[in-house]
Each structure stands twice: as C-alpha cells, then as structure tokens.
C-alpha cells in the first residue's frame, strides 16, 4: 500500500532499542515468551492497557517490562485514550509509553525525554490482579493514576482542524452556456452566453485537458473544447506521472510559489500563465468602501489514524472523508456570496456538473488552496500526498513535493530525515493545491508531523504572593482573513475575552466558572484575567487533592482553546461511606457478596451515606455528593421518584437516596463521590427478576384500517394472576395514551387485551387516540409499555413493581396521509404521496400496482394511466406520469387514492412487513385546481327562449350532468355561453386540510413521541433556605471563623440571639461579617444547583390534553399563531367545533372550517361583434352558498359545472343576429378575502337565428 512506509518509519527507532527474543504480541491471544533468567517457559494471559496520553500530537507505543512494544490504537468514543494488550504473568507487569513519532516518554515519574528504564516503569500489578482492563491516566509533570474502570475523564479528541485559505476562480472555457446549474448559478451573474473567466481565471477550468497533461505535448488554446482523450496513446503512458519544474525550488518573498520562467511552457503546459497569482486574493467587488475578494477561510480536518499518523482526506471516496462528505475537495461549493449577509453574489461561482465522473453532481470547480503551518522536527517524520491537480509542498520554504499539471490522482512523498533539518527546531510547512479541471477533486495527505497554526489565544502568567495570575490576550489580523498567516498580514493584540470551564480531580463533570471566587482559590476576576491559589483550596478543603484543569475558550473564536493545569496538594479529606438505616457505617468499599442493597428488580430500595471518619465535618464543599451507577438499567431516585445525579449531606453528614433496577442486573457498581471527599463503592450489586409474569410479546393492531391503533395484545410467560395482579397498564405508540386500569384490561390466562371504546366499524374513526400513526418515517418503529403489578408472597407480604419500556411491536399496515398533484416543467404530471410510515424498498418496485384510484371523468369512472416511474424514499413517493394531451387519464385534484389492500400480491409493505388493511382509507388528491372554460361552436337561438327573454345579460346555470359537452349544453339551452369546470367546494376542503395540517404539526411537537420521556430541569434553593442552611451550619459549628465570620457573630448565632431573620438589623455585624454571610449564602445557592431528571407520565401529553390546554388558555393564542395555526382553527377548538374526537373528519375534509361564502368566484363577461364593436357586459359573484345557482344545499350538496349563459341581447335589448361574436371572460377567485386566481380569456362564438 502507498502509506505503509509510515508505520515502518514510526516503529523503527523504537524497535532498535528492544532486546532480541521477547517480541510483544498484540493480537489478543495468549502468548508464551521465554524468561531470560531461566530456561523454563511461563504461560501468560492478556491484559488490556488503556492510556490517556499527556501529548496530543500522536498515539503511543507501549513498552512492557522494559523491552517489548506495540503501537496503541485509539478507542472509539473515548477521546485521548489509546489501548493495546500486554502479557501478564506471576512475574509482574510494568509499563511505560513513548510517542509514536517523537522523543517523549512517560513512566512513573511523568514525562521524560529519554527511554524509561525498567526501574522507573509504572507497575500495574496491583490493578492487574483486580481487572482485565487497566486505565492509566497520565499527567504532564506527575505520576499517573491507575484505575480498574473508566475514570470519567476524556482527553483531546484525535482530531485537529487546520484553517486553510481558499481562492475561487471562474471557469475559463468558451462553451459554458449549458454548464451552470440553474438553481445555484444566478443568471444575474452573467457568464451563460459568453466566455467565462479571463486573466487569472483563464488558467482554471476549460474543456481542453491537452493544455497541461503529463507526458502529452501541450496543444490547443485556453477555452477551446477538446473532444475525447485517447486512453492507449495519451492516458495510459501518463499513469503515475506529473509535470515537475513548473515552480521555483524556493518560495517567493510573498510566501507563494514562483513561476519557473525557464520551464518549457509552450511544450508542456499552456494554462499556467498567471501561476504567480494563483494563491493571492483578487478583489472582485468594492462596496461601501469594503473590498470583497475571491478568498475564503475553510477548515481542513485531520484525524489520527490507528497507526498514529495524521490524515486529511477529501476525495471521491466520500465515506473516508475526514471532513464533510462532499465527494472531493469542494469546500467552496457554498461560496455563492461574498458577504455574510448574502447580498453580494460571487461572480466566480460556477456550479458545473461533474459529467465526466457520471455522478450527476454539481460543484464549484476552479479553486486553489494554501495551507500554512509550523511543526517541530523529530526523527522519523514523513509526509505523503495523493490527489489532483497541481500540488506543491514546501518545508522550510524549500520545494519537497512537486506534483504539477492537470491530471487525475497522483502521489508524492518526502522523508523529512533526508532534508538536513535540526531535531527540536521549528520549521514552516506549506501546501499549495489546485483543482483546475471539471473532473473530481481529490485531496489526501498523511503525515507524522504535528502541524500547528498560529494561535490567536495567548496566555501570559506570573506568580505574585504564591498566587499564579493569568492574563488572556487575543491576536487579531488587520484587514486580513483569519486564515491568512502570511507575513503581509498585520497583527494587533487585544484582551482575549473568554469563558472558563473547570474539570479533573474528583469533579464528576466539567463546571462552568463565572466571575467570582470558586473553591476558595480560583478567582475569575474578569473574562480576560484569573488567578489560582491551590494552597487556599487545600486550606479550606474545597477540592480533594489531585490534578485539575481550567479550559479557556475565546468567545469570538470557540475553536481557540487552552488548558491550564494545577494541582491541589495532598491533605486529609473525609471519605464517603455507606450506612444502614440506623446510620451504622458499613464502610466505603462494600461488596454485594456480603450485603446487597435489595433483591428484586422494579422495587425501590433506600441507600444511606455518611462520612467514614468520626472527625469529618460537613462544609460547603464536601456536602454535595455525586452519584453514578455502572449499569444503565439502574435508576438513582430521590424520595419523590425523580431521577437524580447528586445528593447533599445534611448538617449531621447524612443523606438518603433510592435505587430501582429496571431489569435483571448483575455485577453493577454504585459510586458516591464528593468534590472534597473521596469516593465510596458498592460493588457486585445484583437484582433478580421478581416472580411476576414477564412480557413475551406486546403487539398493537388496527382493526378497521383507519391508521390508528385500536387494540393491544400482550402475551406473558405465565398466567396473569395466582399471586400477581396486573393493576394498570400504559403504552406509547406514536403518542402517549392514558393509564388503563383493571376495569379496561381483559385478562385471558397468559394474554391481556386492551381495546379502544369506540365501535371500530369500517370507515369510522376508531383508535386509542385521534392521531393517525402506523410506524416510523425512516426506520422500524417500536412503541413502549409500562405495567404495574402487585405481588403477594406466601407470607402475605405485598410488593409493588413498575416495569417500564417494554417494547410494543408494530402490526399496523401503512396508509396514505396526503396526495398532491402538480405539473412539472415538461408538461408531465407528478403525484406526490406522503405515507404514514416508510415502506420497504423491495415493494417500491410495485409502484404501478400498489394503489387504487377513484377517478370520475364526465360522470364515468375512469381507470387512470400507469405512472412511468416513481421517485422518493422512506415515507414519501412521487409518481411520474408522461405528458398527455388528454389529462382525463391522469389522477388529479379531486380524485381519490389509497393503497391496494393486503390481498394484492404486489401491495406495499412497511419496514415491519405489515401490508395495508382491507379498509385502509381513501385520500383526496389535492393540488392547484385548474380552471377550464369551453363554449359551443354554433348555437341556433329563438326569441321565445326563457333565457333570452330574461333581461339579465349573463345568467349562471348549474350543469349537474358531467357527461354533457359544451355544445350539447348550448344546443339544449338554445344560447351561447361559457362552460366553467371548477369545483368551489374542493377549494374549501383543501383550505381546511391545510389548516388542520398546521395544527397536526404543532401537536407532533408537543406530544412526546420518542422513548425519552425525561424532562431535565435545573433547581436551586431559595435565598431564605440558603440563609437558614448557613445559620444552621454556624450553629452546629460547621462554619467557623475561617470562613470570615467574627467570633462575636458565631457566638450570637449559637446562643440563638442572632438568626437568619434578624441578623440584618443587628449591630453586632461588621461590614466584613455581612460580606462573608452574603458570600456564603450565594455559595449555598450555587452548591444546591443540580439537574433533576423527571419522567413525565405518558398520560399527561395526550391529544385530548392539548385540546384542553388550548381551551383553558394554558397554551396561549400567541403561541398558537406563531406556530402557524389560524384564528379560525383556534376559535373552532375553543367553541367545541373541533375536538379530539372529530378532528379526523377535518383531516379528510369530511367537515370543513370555512363558511360557504368565504370562497367566491367573481366574473365579468364582455360581448363584442366580430369587428370588435361593443355589445354588452355583465358582472357577478358566485359562492358556495349562492342559492339561485347551487340550491338550498349549496355547492357541497349540489355539485356540477357552471354555464354562464348569455341572453343574446345588446345593451339596448336588441336580439343579436346571425354571425360571429367574441366573448371576453375575466375570472377572479377569492379565498377568505385574498385573491388566489386572476385570468382572462377570449372565445369566438357562432350564432344562427
């Protein structure tokens, strides 16, 4: 492989020092090695050694017992940790570590610069005897800590982001008119009819690969199109080759490559005329005095491979990308605008199809990139590159990798040991990269150098009065991009406004630090200054001894961070211990082998903790105890049943919390640890399953096919009863349903059935809830169930169990939720479908037969044409129909569609293999309703005709027979007119469905649908409670003079003369006393802050509850309006028109919200002779409630087309004669007062008298 040299190089220097004979094996199997002191052989076992490195630039090599080694590999999900396996036997196990690349070693005394001898290695014998996995946490200047389980701390993730400078150039070809993506390349930018880029941009893009291809003589001119590329004579000889010598061997004074003028440009490369300018910004637009260039900053992501090598990759292997998976180095695909407000289009943005690659994607080709960094040279460093097009790498300003030309992927490499560099000295590193042809864009680099860019966060420290003080500064570039590290970028230094986070030591999790004094020795004086007094921390017992870190993050650039490490020196601290209910100490290391917290799962058991030492006293820092448990099946609860992660000791040093196991548990560990108190462990906890029925399977069904679960069947492993009673049951499937008591549960031996109350007849809404839900939109959905049992044992003792999160299987078939018809640009029809859940890919092939339609055309049921293809995935599908002159054969607005039922062999199936129900519902096809107008060609008229006798010029007539043509209608009525085919009631239905869809979307946000029903809330005690707690602590002697309170005040509190209620009016307090009390009061509040996890009962978030909240005003009207819910819908809910029971009929538009007169069709007709002489005109409006047209039932009950009949008379009342006439019809459609349609059309009519 092209990269194998890395690992060989990395290990070579380490392996040189190993003794011959004992070779370390890291393949996980047991091995046998020879003991040097004897001729006998020892059988060994394997231990996993996990190491948190004190360095961040490489992985580590593991040394075992002085002379064995293996490269350690990173551990997924544990940033900064690496692991390998080591042989362990009765002869002992000691280890040390070395950088994969570099000269730093780590042993029992911390980081050193030479190999650790066996006497200074880290002995793992004590922990190896207890566990098969050993965790070694390192510190830069101190001995490591050893753990038998993950210590809860992470290092830096083996990922770094190099800021790079990108330059966008315009495609330089002539024939670019068909290239640009119409949706991303604005026509206002031009470049669609003329040649593209000129000047520097003319070196980029183009269609002639002959201009600069390795081994092929340069031919043609810039911008010309080149057809074909001969593989045998042109491509094959060039494989693995590049053009070298295009640039000088030394970087120019401006920090970019210099064009080599002695190079054979005419014969080898004709499109690098402006090479000197490829990596320098070009001003494109000047607006309001601000220059906007073609340069932009992006991040190149590097990750540390398992072999300790940094890799940066963005190429055609998208899944291997270390950054965005763009399919190549296309970091400027989003550079459509030059400004952040997106008001200045980028004239160089050329979104071109990657047609040659055949993937149909568009990219912004024509780019160059400059990477600039520094590194410290150590022996063994290496660099390799694979990509296209031109790539030049400079180290110490000297050219070391030369891959010039326009080509596909080519590789180059450099061994830094051959460059004459001085070990330990810092050098510059540059990569210059281009993409100059519209075919792929590959970039892949691997290196063992620890590349670093100039940090903009600068930390300055000094020591005053044994306190370490820090100032934070930020380096700013004047009038330059942040990624421009060139010498021309002017620098300025200002205060580095930052945030602070404390971690490490015995802290359970990182803690954000605001301005103020923390733990008596961390003083955050501003967002640019702070100090650390570790002696003061120890003096006040504020943090337990150990290593701590303050992470500083720039507010203006969160990617800029630094860590400050400090050590709290050793001192005597109390230990947390477990106790029994009488507060007798059980110890700080308790084993379930001798004592268990409880016996049965699903039962709640109390746990008591206190201090182990008799001398221990509670203070503000040791009273808060962090609680963790190794098994996720165990919940830690407070007295109310809410999940907690901390508990506070009272003034006696006591605290009680509770455990509940949600299943069978073995070998679990409970840990209780305070910030200033050592941890205690209760190991080997076990909880058995109780002797109650266990669920074998729970399944939900839909009996009538309306898409709502309406029956739940639960199978248990034994008969329900006989000592165990199922008290109640609650479940979730798409939404949360109420708790069902025993009266609603039907028990039949080992099976339990719960059904909805409604009569689930076909075509009726029936379900546990009103929402249609049948499964997941992209993956298999599983509901959940909670059951409550009471068990009575043989001694008549009762136990109460809650069994949560039992899976509920989906046995409901899919339905169609929505269907919308529309036309595409080519005149074809699209039918966009939304399903209630994803359907399987295997059944998508049946798109032509998996649906049933109801289509009426002219009063006759019509079978529609089959679609030509189908698009979409998951829970969506778009049926594509060919363009047709006769749209009668294509499903359109107003037709009905549903899934073909399960008896159809080619029916749809969901991801759980459920087929559609026999009675799955029909859905109206919506979409913009087209209005068509037809007229008779020639009509014979008679003066005796009642329409003609009527003085009203235009008379609307409802035509209920859809089979009649316009000519037939004209002949039967004896007059000319316009036949309008438009359904007003359909508009009312569609508007209702739109408004209910907005309501459903809001419901989906409120109804807890996922498995996590946990609400996280932060709580603190009140000021009054904090004061009372403080005065209680003073009275009991916990708070003494060391906290800044005078002896006089302490004595007054202890005698009861001074209380939290009267202290402010007392003359005993000095200003220092008041300040100390205020400070301690606030600390009590801060210390009480904790995150509570509360499980919301599922019955609290049903659809009915949301309706009730809207009616009561608990959900405000403003919140509803902002969610897109109309006032009409809100009013309908509040007055009881729409309810949880009938909302489904509004979803299907069986009931509508709009009144009959809210949709009106306004018309104006003008009549002219064939010579254009005006005859007459008439105007009118028609709504769904216009009785003279639609009758008493309105347009909902009486459907049909409208015929606007002309009375065939002039404005003076004279009957028209034989001839040709022109009718101009102007129609407007208004929906709730808003104009939705405005159209005018002319028709020629023939009249005979």
Position 452 in a domain: no
Q: What is the pLDDT of residue 826?
A: 58
Widest Cα–Cα separation across the chain: 132
pLDDT tens, position by position, 17-73: 322 222 222 223 222 222 323 333 344 588 999 999 988 778 899 999 887 778 898
The torsion of the CA quartet 609, 612, 615, 616, rounded to 10 degrees, works out to -40
Encoding tokens for residue 873? 């995935």
**For the chain, how big is the Rg over CA atoms in Å?**
40
How far is Cα 493 from Cα 24, in angstroms, rounded to an integer?
51
Final residue of a structural domain among 687, 703, 738: 687
Position 1100 in a domain: no
Band (pLDDT 50/70/90 cuts) for residue 346 is confident
Q: What is the pLDDT of residue 703?
A: 92
CB 1177 within 8 A of CB 1164: yes
Among 379-383, 806-810, 1205-1209, the range scoring the smallest mean pLDDT is 379-383
**Nearest of 586, 592, 587, 578 to residue 665 by alpha carbon:** 592
Q: Tell whether the model's pLDDT for residue 522 goes beyond 90.
A: yes
Same-domain status, 795 and 824: no
Encoding tokens for residue 1226? 């102007």
On the 0-12 / 13-18 / 19+ scale of CB atoms within 10 A, 909 is: buried
Q: Which residue has the higher pLDDT, 711 or 238?
A: 711
- Buried b / exposed e across 595-609, counting CB within 10 Å, b at 16+? ebbbebbbbbeebbb
* DSSP of 1129-1181: HHHHHHTTSS-TTTHHHHHTTSS-SS-TTSEEEEEEEEEEETT--EEEEEEEE
Q: What is the pLDDT of residue 439?
A: 74
On the 0-12 / 13-18 / 19+ scale of CB atoms within 10 A, 394 is: buried
Band (pLDDT 50/70/90 cuts) for residue 582 is very high
Q: Tell whether the model's pLDDT for residue 486 goes beyond 60.
A: yes
Band (pLDDT 50/70/90 cuts) for residue 259 is very high
Among 173-182, 479-488, 518-527, 830-839, the range scoring the smallest mean pLDDT is 173-182
Q: Tell whether the model's pLDDT for residue 796 goes beyond 50.
A: yes
Q: What is the pLDDT of residue 1101?
A: 59
Q: What is the pLDDT of residue 120?
A: 92
Q: How many domains does the chain have?
A: 8
Question: 359: how many CB neighbours lie within 10 A of its CB?
Answer: 11
The listed range with the strongest mean pLDDT (63-77, 980-994, 1096-1110, 1125-1139) is 1125-1139
Q: What is the pLDDT of residue 224?
A: 65
Question: 115: how many CB neighbours lie within 10 A of its CB?
Answer: 15
Average pLDDT of span 739-760: 85
Q: What is the pLDDT of residue 223?
A: 62
Q: What is the pLDDT of residue 858?
A: 59
Position 1124 in a domain: no
Q: What is the pLDDT of residue 6?
A: 37
Average pLDDT of span 596-604: 92
Position 1130 in a domain: no
Band (pLDDT 50/70/90 cuts) for residue 853 is very high
The listed range with the strongest mean pLDDT (20-34, 124-138, 253-267) is 253-267
Q: Tell whether the model's pLDDT for residue 860 goes beyond 60.
A: yes
- Tell whether the torsion through CA atoms of 582, 584, 587 and 590 is positive or negative: negative
Residues contacting residue 862 through CB under 8 Å, at least 6 positions apart? 855, 856, 888, 889
Same-domain status, 45 and 120: yes
Q: Residue 389: is the preceding peptide bond cis (ω within 30°)? A: yes
Same-domain status, 413 and 531: no
On the 0-12 / 13-18 / 19+ scale of CB atoms within 10 A, 888 is: middle
Same-domain status, 396 and 334: yes
Q: Tell whether the model's pLDDT for residue 315 goes beyond 90.
A: no
Q: With pLDDT > 90 as the criterion, what percentage of the chain qualifies? A: 39
What is the pTM (predicted TM-score) of this model?
0.53
Position 486 in a domain: yes
507: domain CATH number is: 2.60.40
CB 270 within 8 A of CB 221: yes
Same-domain status, 1026 and 1079: yes
Q: What is the 3-state secondary structure (H, E, C) of 888-917?
A: HHCCCCCCEEEECCCCCCCCCCECCCCCCC
Residues contacting residue 1064 through CB under 8 Å, at least 6 positions apart? none
Q: Tell whether the model's pLDDT for residue 1093 goes beyond 60.
A: no
What rounded mean pLDDT belongs to the chain?
A: 83
Same-domain status, 801 and 834: no
Q: Which residue has the tokens 């870190």?
A: 549
Final residue of a structural domain among 551, 568, 585: 568
Encoding tokens for residue 916? 């559609």
Same-domain status, 474 and 550: yes
Same-domain status, 916 and 937: no
Same-domain status, 509 and 654: no
CA angle (80, 430, 495) in 5-degree steps:
65
| Full domain range(s) for residue 461 | 457-568
Q: Tell whether the model's pLDDT for residue 420 goes beyond 60.
A: yes
The dihedral region occupied by 1110, where left means phi > 0, alpha psi between -120 and 50, and beta the remainder, is alpha
How far is Cα 728 from Cα 738, in angstroms, rounded to an integer?
10
Average pLDDT of span 1022-1033: 87
Q: What is the pLDDT of residue 360?
A: 59
Final residue of a structural domain among 156, 171, 190: 156
Per DSSP bridges, beta strands 133-139 and 45-52 are parallel
Same-domain status, 1049 and 952: no
Q: For residue 234, what is the DSSP state?
A: I
pLDDT tens, position by position, 753-784: 999 876 777 767 788 887 889 999 989 999 99
Q: Tell whether the model's pLDDT for residue 483 goes beyond 60.
A: yes
Encoding tokens for residue 384? 């390799």
Among 255-269, 484-498, 814-828, 948-962, the range scoring the smallest mean pLDDT is 484-498
Q: With pLDDT > 70 as the criterion, what percentage of the chain qualifies? A: 87
How far is Cα 421 from Cα 677, in angstroms, rounded to an integer?
51
Q: Which residue has the higher pLDDT, 1044 or 1218?
A: 1218
CB 18 within 8 A of CB 63: no
Q: Tell whether the model's pLDDT for residue 874 goes beyond 60.
A: yes
Same-domain status, 477 and 388: no
DSSP strands (E only) in 223-294: 283-287, 290-293
675: domain CATH number is: 2.60.40.10
Question: 77: how many CB neighbours lie within 10 A of its CB?
Answer: 7
CA angle (421, 425, 429) in 5-degree steps:
70
Among 247-251, 383-387, 889-893, 972-976, the range scoring the smallest mean pLDDT is 889-893
From residue 595, alpha-carbon distances to 214, 591, 686 in Å are: 78, 6, 10
Average pLDDT of span 242-253: 94
Q: What is the pLDDT of residue 685?
A: 96
Position 1148 in a domain: no
Q: Which residue has the higher pLDDT, 825 or 651?
A: 651
Band (pLDDT 50/70/90 cuts) for residue 1222 is very high
Encoding tokens for residue 1014? 């946990």
Q: Tell whether the model's pLDDT for residue 610 goes beyond 90.
A: yes
Position 332 in a domain: yes
**Nearest of 976, 979, 980 to residue 1209 by alpha carbon:** 976
Same-domain status, 584 and 523: no
Position 802 in a domain: yes
**Nearest of 1164, 1139, 1137 to residue 1227 by alpha carbon:** 1164
Q: Tell whether the model's pLDDT for residue 1002 goes beyond 50.
A: yes
Q: Tell whether the model's pLDDT for residue 623 goes beyond 90.
A: no
From residue 542, alpha-carbon distances to 506, 539, 546, 1083 in Å are: 11, 8, 12, 12
Per DSSP bridges, beta strands 443-447 and 310-314 are antiparallel
From residue 1027, alpha-carbon distances to 15, 987, 1019, 1057, 1085 in Å are: 65, 66, 17, 16, 9
pLDDT tens, position by position, 1146-1170: 877 788 888 888 889 999 999 999 8
Q: What is the pLDDT of residue 560?
A: 82
């Amino acid at each position: 492989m092209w990269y194998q040299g890395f690992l060989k190089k990395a290990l070579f220097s380490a392996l040189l020092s190993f003794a011959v004979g004992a070779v370390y094996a890291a393949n996980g199997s047991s091995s046998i090695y020879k003991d040097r002191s004897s001729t006998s052989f020892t059988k060994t076992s394997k231990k996993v050694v996990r190491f948190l490195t004190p360095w961040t630039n490489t992985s580590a090599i593991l040394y075992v017992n002085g002379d064995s080694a293996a490269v350690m590999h990173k551990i997924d999900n544990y940033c900064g940790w690496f692991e390998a396996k080591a042989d362990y036997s009765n002869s002992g196990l000691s280890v040390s570590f070395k950088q994969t690349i570099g000269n730093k070693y780590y042993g029992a005394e911390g980081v050193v610069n030479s190999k650790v001898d066996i006497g200074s290695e880290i002995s793992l014998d004590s922990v190896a005897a207890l566990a098969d996995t050993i965790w070694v946490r390192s510190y830069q200047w101190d001995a490591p800590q050893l753990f038998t389980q993950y210590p809860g701390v992470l290092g830096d993730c083996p990922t770094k982001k190099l800021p790079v400078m990108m330059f966008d150039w315009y495609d330089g070809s002539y024939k670019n008119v068909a290239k640009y993506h119409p949706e991303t390349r604005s026509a206002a930018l031009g470049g669609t009819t003329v040649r593209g880029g000129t000047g520097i941009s003319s070196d980029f893009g183009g269609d002639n690969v002959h201009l600069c291809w390795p081994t092929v003589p340069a031919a043609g001119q810039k911008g010309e199109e080149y057809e074909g590329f001969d593989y045998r004579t042109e491509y094959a000889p060039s494989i693995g080759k590049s053009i070298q010598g295009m640039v000088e061997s030394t970087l120019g004074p401006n920090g970019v490559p210099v064009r080599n003028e002695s190079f054979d440009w005419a014969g080898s490369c004709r499109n690098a005329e402006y090479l000197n300018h490829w990596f320098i910004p070009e001003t494109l637009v000047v607006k309001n005095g601000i220059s906007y260039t073609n340069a932009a900053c992006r991040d190149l992501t590097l990750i540390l491979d398992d072999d300790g090598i940094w890799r940066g990759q963005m190429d055609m292997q998208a899944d291997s990308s270390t950054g965005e998976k763009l399919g190549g180095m296309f970091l400027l695909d989003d550079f459509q605008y030059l400004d952040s407000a997106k008001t200045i289009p980028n004239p160089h943005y050329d979104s071109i199809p990657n047609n040659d690659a055949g993937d149909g994607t568009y990219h912004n080709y024509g780019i160059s990139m400059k990477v600039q960094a520094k590194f410290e040279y150590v022996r063994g460093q290496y660099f390799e590159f694979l990509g296209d097009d031109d790539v030049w790498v400079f180290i110490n300003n000297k050219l070391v990798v030369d891959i010039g030309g326009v080509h596909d992927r080519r590789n180059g490499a450099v061994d830094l040991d051959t460059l004459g560099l001085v070990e330990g000295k810092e050098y510059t590193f540059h990569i210059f990269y281009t993409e100059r042809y519209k075919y792929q864009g590959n970039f892949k680099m691997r290196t063992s150098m620890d590349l670093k860019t100039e940090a903009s966060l600068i930390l300055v420290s000094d020591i005053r009065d044994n306190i370490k003080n820090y100032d934070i500064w930020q380096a700013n570039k004047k009038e330059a991009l942040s990624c421009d590290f060139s010498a021309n970028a002017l620098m300025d230094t200002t205060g580095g406004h930052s945030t602070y986070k404390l971690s490490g030591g015995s802290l359970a999790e990182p803690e954000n630090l605001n301005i103020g004094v923390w733990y008596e020795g961390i003083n955050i004086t501003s967002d640019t200054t702070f100090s650390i007094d570790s002696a003061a921390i120890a003096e006040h017992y504020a943090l337990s001894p150990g290593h701590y870190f303050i992470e500083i993050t720039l507010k203006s650039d969160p990617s800029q961070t630094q860590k400050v490490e400090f050590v709290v020196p050793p001192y005597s601290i109390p230990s947390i211990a477990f106790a029994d209910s009488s507060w007798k100490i059980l110890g700080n290391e308790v084993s379930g082998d001798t004592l268990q917290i409880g016996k049965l799962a699903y039962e709640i058991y109390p746990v008591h903790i206190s201090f182990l030492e008799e001398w221990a006293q509670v203070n503000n820092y040791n009273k808060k105890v962090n609680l963790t448990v190794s098994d996720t099946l165990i919940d830690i609860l407070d007295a109310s049943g809410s999940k907690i992660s901390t508990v506070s000791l009272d003034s006696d040093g006591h605290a009680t919390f509770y455990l509940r196991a949600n299943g069978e548990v073995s070998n679990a560990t409970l840990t209780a640890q305070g910030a200033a108190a050592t941890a205690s462990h209760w190991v080997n906890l076990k909880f058995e399953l109780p002797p109650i029925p266990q669920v074998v399977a729970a399944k939900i069904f839909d009996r009538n096919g309306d898409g709502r679960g309406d029956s739940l069947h639960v199978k248990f492993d034994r008969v329900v009863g006989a000592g165990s009673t199922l008290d109640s049951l609650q479940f979730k499937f798409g939404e949360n349903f109420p708790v069902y008591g025993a009266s609603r549960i039907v028990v039949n031996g080992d099976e339990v059935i719960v059904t909805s109350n409604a009569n689930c007849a076909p075509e009726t809404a029936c379900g546990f809830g009103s929402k249609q839900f049948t499964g997941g939109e992209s993956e298999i959905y599983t509901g959940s169930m909670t059951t409550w049992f009471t068990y009575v044992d043989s001694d008549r003792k009762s136990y109460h169990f809650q069994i949560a999160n039992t899976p509920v299987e989906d046995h409901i078939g899919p339905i169609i939720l929505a269907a919308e018809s529309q036309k595409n640009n080519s005149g074809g029809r699209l039918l966009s479908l939304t399903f209630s859940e994803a359907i399987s890919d295997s059944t998508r092939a049946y798109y032509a037969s998996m649906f049933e339609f109801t289509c009426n055309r002219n009063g006759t049921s019509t079978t529609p044409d089959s679609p030509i293809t189908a698009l979409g995935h998951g829970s969506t599908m778009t049926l594509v129909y060919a363009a047709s002159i006769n749209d009668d054969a294509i499903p359109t607005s107003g037709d009905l569609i549903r899934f073909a039922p399960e008896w159809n062999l080619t029916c749809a199936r969901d991801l759980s293999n459920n087929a559609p129900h026999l009675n799955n519902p029909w859905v109206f096809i919506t979409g913009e309703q087209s209005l068509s107008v037809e007229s008779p060609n020639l009509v014979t008229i008679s003066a005796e005709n009642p329409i003609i006798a009527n003085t009203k010029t235009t008379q609307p007539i409802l035509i209920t027979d859809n089979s009649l043509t316009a000519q037939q209608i004209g002949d039967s009525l004896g007059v000319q007119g316009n036949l309008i085919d438009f359904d007003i009631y359909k508009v009312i239905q569609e508007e209702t469905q739109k408004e209910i869809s907005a309501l459903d979307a809001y419901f989906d946000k409120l109804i807890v649908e996922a498995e996590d029903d946990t609400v996280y809330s932060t709580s603190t005690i009140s000021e009054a409670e904090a004061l009372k707690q403080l005065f209680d602590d003073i009275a009991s002697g916990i708070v003494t003079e060391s906290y800044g309170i005078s002896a006089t005040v302490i004595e007054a509190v202890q005698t009861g003369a001074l209380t939290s209620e009267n202290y402010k009016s007392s003359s005993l307090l000095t200003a220092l006393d008041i300040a100390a009390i205020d400070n301690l009061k606030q600390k009590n509040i801060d210390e009480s802050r904790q995150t509570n996890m509360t499980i919301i009962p599922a019955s609290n978030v049903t659809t009915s509850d949301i309706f009730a909240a809207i009616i009561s005003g608990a959900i405000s009207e403003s919140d509803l309006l902002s969610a897109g819910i109309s006032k009409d819908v809100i009013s309908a809910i509040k007055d009881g028109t729409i309810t949880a029971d009938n909302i489904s009929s509004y979803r299907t538009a069986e009931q509508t919200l709009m009144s009959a007169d809210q949709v009106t069709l306004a018309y104006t007709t003008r009549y002219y002779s064939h010579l254009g002489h005006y005859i007459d005109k008439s105007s009118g409006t028609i709504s769904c409630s216009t009785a003279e047209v639609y009758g008493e039932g309105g347009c909902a009950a009486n459907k049909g087309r409208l015929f606007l009949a002309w009375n065939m008379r002039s404005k003076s009342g004279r009957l028209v004669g034989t001839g040709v006439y022109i009718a101009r019809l102007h129609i407007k459609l208004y929906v709730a007062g808003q104009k939705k349609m405005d159209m005018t059309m002319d028709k020629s009519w023939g009249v005979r008298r």
